[in-house]
Amino acid sequence: MKVLELQEHLSKLDPESDVLCYSEDEILLFGKQGFILFDILAVNSADSKWLRLEDGTPYLKFEHGPDSVAIAILEITSDF
């Protein structure tokens, strides 16, 4: 999702609402959980390079260079 798309979606909501993230990704779940909640700690931007680890896991290399791009980053936590 691009920043503009996120802004458009959020602009339709009550600006006083809390914002949480959740995932149903089985790799993140423990036991019989149906989903896991995350709270947003910070919103930042960083120059990075997209890549995949040897096992196929998506990853970012934070660096400034000819192959890097600026991305928006939401720092999240499941401890809130």
What's this model's pTM, rounded to 2 decimal places?
0.77
Residue-wise pLDDT tens digits, 27-66: 889 889 999 999 999 999 999 999 999 999 999 999 999 9
Residues 6+ apart with CB under 8 A from 80: 37, 39
DSSP 27-53: GG--TT-S-EEEEEEEEEEEEEEEEE-
pLDDT for 80 equals: 84
Residue extents of the structural domains in the chain: 3-77
Whole-angstrom CA distances from 69 to 45, 47, 61 are 10, 5, 11
What is the DSSP-derived secondary structure letter of residue 54? T
Task: Give residue-wise pLDDT tens across range 4-34.
Answer: 999 999 999 999 999 999 999 998 898 899 9
User: What is the rounded distance in angstroms from the CA atom of residue 39 to the CA atom of residue 62?
Assistant: 23
pLDDT for 27 equals 87
When pLDDT is averaged across residues 68-80 and rounded to a whole number, the result is 94
